[in-house]
Amino acid sequence: MKVPLRHDLSAGPVLLACLAIGLLTLMDGVAKELSTRLTTLDVVTIRYVSGIFWAGLLGLIVRPPLPTRDMVRAHSIRAVFFAATSFLFFYALSTLPIVEAMVFTYLSPIFIALLGSLLLHEKVHPSTAFAIALSFVGVMVIAVGKGLGAEGISNDFLGILAAIGSAGTYALSLVLLRARTGSDPITTIVVLQNFLTALIILPIAFFLSDPVAAIVAEWPYVLMMGLLGTAGQFALASALRAAPAARIGTVEFTNIIWATLIGIFFFGEWPGITAYLGAALIIFAAFILLRKATPKISLAGDGL
């Protein structure tokens, strides 16, 4: 069965996606703080235990339709990629400064544009392609300014590989999410994503670690992390319901701005002048995305 997807090219979905990215980047800052004293597996567990609490609360308030067997099957596939993304990126955060971790994950919009075209048959508008390219140039300017040469890469090789890997798995999870937002209630998507990912993470955590002790010791961060993650997921799913995956994927670049502020104020990581030059290019690319255009409609299958 073919389900029509909205292609709203106005500023609304882009601004909503910017809010989502801000919330999710704040969550990443909390994860980085926790990684200074906990293992990556414990941090991922905390994220989804808290996610179950907040997503369950959201479900009780909104009372969305119960998921169908098809929805559970489709989102179970997404949950695998989402769990992998969380583990890889949180590991990268534990080994790299937050801005540098974000730099390497900026391969994801490129993956999103390609996967959106291949799996969802979405046409990448020339202005979107230009915005992606311009933003990528901004990222590279920041990377060069941070001194990410051969010596730096060799020092943090595993962290860099993890960040790049998380970009690929995250891109695929977003494209799969875009395929479902045309038919599945957003609240149901958010609740399912948290519960299904937790079902993957928790058995591994209890087998290899002691997540209960970490949760009890860090309970304020537990609540904060889940709230930010659930709110960010809800906003991002809403944006993806309205606009093409490649367009929303480009907004991912704005998290460099949030990451820079978090790095300065919470971790004492001061970016150089090239960070601001790169940020200027990224902001200009965002203005390109905010231009209004005529909406288009495409079709996507609901069987992913």
pLDDT at 296: 39
Alpha helix positions (H), 146-218:
150-155, 157-180, 186-208, 211-217
Is the confidence at residue 4, as pLDDT, over 60?
Answer: no
Name which of 26-40, 45-59, 164-178 the model is least confident about: 164-178
Question: What is the pLDDT at residue 300?
Answer: 31
Domain boundaries, the chain: 2-294
Q: How large is the angle between the packed helices 69-95 and 157-180, nearest 10 degrees?
A: 160
- Strand pairing category for 2-5 and 298-301: antiparallel
Dig out the tokens for 38 from the structure. Answer: 């906990």
Q: What confidence category does residue 68 fall into, taking pLDDT thresholds of 50, 70 and 90? A: confident
Q: What is the mean pLDDT of residues 154-183?
A: 76
pLDDT at 113: 64
**Global pTM?**
0.75
What tens digit of pLDDT does each residue of 32-43 get?
Answer: 999 999 999 999
Q: How far apart are the first and last CA of the chain?
A: 12
Three-state DSSP at 293 gives coil
What whole-number distance in Å separates Cα of residue 300 and Cα of residue 119?
8
Residue 9: the pLDDT is 62
Q: What is the pLDDT of residues 220-262, one digit of tens each?
A: 999 999 999 889 988 887 887 777 766 776 777 788 889 989 9
User: Which pLDDT score is estimated for 121?
Assistant: 65
CA separation for the pair 190, 77 (Å, rounded): 14
pLDDT for 146: 57
Higher pLDDT, 32 or 65: 32
pLDDT score of 205: 93
Residue 6: what pLDDT?
Answer: 55
